[in-house]
Amino acid sequence: MDTPSPSLGKAVATAVHQALTDPYFAPLERLAAYLRENPDSDRVTLEQLVRWSPDDRLPTCFVWDPGSDHIGFSEPSSPWALEEVVNRLRQGMFKSNPRGLLMVDTFSVEEDRYWLGFLKVPLQSEAPSMLAGVFLNIDDYLAEDAPRQITKLTDRRRFPSFELQRNEPPLHNEPDGDLSFRILNQEGEVYYQHGRMFEPTQMIYSESRYYPNPIVALQEGWDLQVFSSKVVKPADRERQVRRAGWGVLGALLVIGLAYWWGAFS
């Protein structure tokens, strides 16, 4: 994993994606696992969803009872957003989902964008007794939560596979990593970056190179790029080639001189 390669870059990108998605996907994954392990269960509590969430500020968990039209949620939210969540749940309740897959939707309310993910309870029921899941304000997530989650990732420094570069030059022989990354929006502007080195010639991975419409931080068309200071720049490579050439020429001269010295001595 020391070699600056696309695979190393993808490992860094995967860690960033996990940091960004775990807060709202983790409770959904635990919910799905619980319902598969308990196929006869027709109830899920709000406390269960909250307990499965790894972050106390993200997302908003909910359970909705279509019979009573009651929705319980873990965090205060816009009443207009809650109303739209219930509207989307009513639509999802009647959608065929024989495999019990996660249902995902997005919507806008009062110029705020929201992400919604939910499951039927029981999973494959055509007339579920409950719908449970999470939702979040995408704009708040981008402004506050996504940077906070990435910072938690970079501050942990517990990934033996790679070392991230510091944002500031190290002092007094402090260890420094060789990898930097940044997230760009659709206009190519920097949304988030970590490290100090972002030269195009040292980029080892880019989401846009491998995926036609990458999704980063819930945003389609954004890009995640990874850089390595160990990549040999073209100018340095030319110097290395010239140096190697002179070394070979010098060796040949020494061999030639040794031959002629031996022949005429």
CATH number at residue 121: 3.30.450
pLDDT of residue 213: 87
Is residue 151 a part of any domain in this protein?
A: no
Pick from 84, 117, 142: which residue ends a domain? 142
Region 190-199: mean pLDDT is 95
Q: How confident is the model at residue 252 (pLDDT cuts 50, 70, 90)?
A: very low
pLDDT of residue 248: 42
Pick from 142, 174, 193: which residue ends a domain? 142
Q: Using the predicted structure, report yes or no on whether residue 240 has a pLDDT greater than 90.
A: no
pLDDT of residue 250: 47
Q: What is the dihedral of CA 169, 13, 217, 52, to 10 degrees?
A: -100
How much of the chain exceeds pLDDT 90, in percent? 68
pLDDT of residue 4: 74
Is residue 212 a part of any domain in this protein?
A: no
Is residue 236 a part of any domain in this protein?
A: yes
Of 100-114, 171-185, 213-227, 232-246, the least confident: 232-246
Pick from 126, 142, 158: which residue ends a domain? 142
**Mean pLDDT in the chain?**
86
Region 150-179: mean pLDDT is 81
pLDDT of residue 259: 43
pTM above 0.75, yes or no: yes
Please indicate whether residue 259 or residue 223 has the higher confidence score (pLDDT). Answer: 223
pLDDT of residue 155: 85
pLDDT of residue 163: 83
25-53 residue pLDDT tens:
999 999 999 999 999 999 999 999 999 99
Domain that holds residue 259: 232-265
